[in-house]
Amino acid sequence: MRLFLGQRAWMLQRATAVVLLIFLAAAAAMLLAGPRLSYERWHALATSPHGAVLIVVLFAALALHGWIGIRDIVLDYIHPPAGRLLLLGLIALVLIAIVIRVALTMAAHFTTAG
Amino acid sequence: MRAPPGSAPKFLNLSQIRFPIGAIASIGHRISGVLLLVTLPLLALALDRSLRSEAEFEALRDLVSAPGRALLLVVVVWAASHHVLAGLRHLLMDMGIGSRLAQARTSAWAAIVAAGVIALAAAVRWLS
């Protein structure tokens, strides 16, 4: 499991945390300050070139942050190498699938939006 | 008296370990993190649905109409609140802010209580 170890993992965990905090603050400001989010406004925002890219970045940051966190937890509590490999492999697969799925979702709407 | 080295217990008895407030904030950070990770695929699906049509978008709004799902959402709100607040605490401590014991205990209490209050507010709003 030599995927993001030691100081690099530590830095990535913090960097993605800050990115996610900025996303959260922006989303909270948009939802709390503005009017009730309508479908039209959400669709226009999410499928705009910047919005679509930002959403993919958001999910990539979530997956990366989640990977480092769950990896620490699995390594702390599960000790047999085979169990670790199986569980971490499965989690990595699901996380990669989620990011690809989100990218495909955004790509689909992006092409129809223009 | 400190136990001599080598006599450290190999098997930890959870009922005999004291959990200071920082430890509770920390284990809560882990538990909430796992909960949020489990929510991630659902979030991706919700994103997809929200963009399909206005009806699907509005259907997501009505998610809290069933008490069972509203309760699940309250759990997610707690997890997100606790994870963000406890995480913010860790980030500040990394920068040397509030890492002294008294301050660290206060901020641990603050994170736990604030997340509880936010979850309670969500429960009052969606479950009543």
| Domain definitions of chain A by residue range | 6-113
| pLDDT of the residue at B67 | 85
Instruction: Judge whether B26 and B86 are in contact, CB under 8 Å.
Output: yes
Q: What class is the B21-127 domain?
A: mainly alpha
Residues of B in contact with A43 (CB under 8 A): 51, 57
pTM beyond 0.90: the answer is no
Average pLDDT score over residue span B13-24: 84
In this prediction, residue B10 has a pLDDT band, given cuts at 50, 70 and 90, of low
Name which of B34, B48, B57 is nearest A42 (Cβ-Cβ): B57
| pLDDT of the residue at B92 | 94
CB-based contact, A41 to chain B, within 8 Å: no
Q: What is the mean pLDDT of chain B?
A: 90
Name which of B44, B51, B94 is nearest A46 (Cβ-Cβ): B51
d(CA B12, CA B8): 10
CA distance A32 to chain B (A): 15
d(CA B101, CA B115): 21
Residue segments in chain A with a per-residue pLDDT below the cut of 70: 1-4, 111-114
| pLDDT of the residue at B54 | 94
Query: Percentage of residues in chain B with pLDDT exceeding 70?
Result: 91
In this prediction, residue B6 has a pLDDT band, given cuts at 50, 70 and 90, of low
- Cβ A98–B44 below 8 Å, yes or no? yes
Chain B (24-83) residues lying within 8 Å, Cβ to Cβ, of chain A: 30, 33-34, 36-37, 40-41, 43-44, 47-48, 50-51, 53-54, 57-58
B105 Cβ contact list (under 8 Å, min separation 6): B20, B21, B22
| Domain definitions of chain B by residue range | 21-127
* Three-state SS letters, B36-96: HHHHHHHHHHHHHHHHHCHHHHHHHHHHHHCHHHHHHHHHHHHHHHHHHHHHHHHHHHHCC
Q: Is CATH 3.30.1330.80 correct for A6-113? A: no
Residue A90 token pair:
């499965």
| pLDDT of the residue at A90 | 97
- Cβ A105–B37 below 8 Å, yes or no? no
What ipTM did this prediction achieve?
A: 0.89
Average pLDDT score over residue span B12-16: 73
| pLDDT of the residue at B8 | 64
Long-range contacts at B9-14 (CB < 8 A, ≥ 24 apart): none
User: pLDDT per residue over B90-99, tens digit each?
Assistant: 999 999 998 8
Chosen for mutation from B10, B37, B45, B89 (greatest number of chain A CBs closer than 10 Å) is: B37
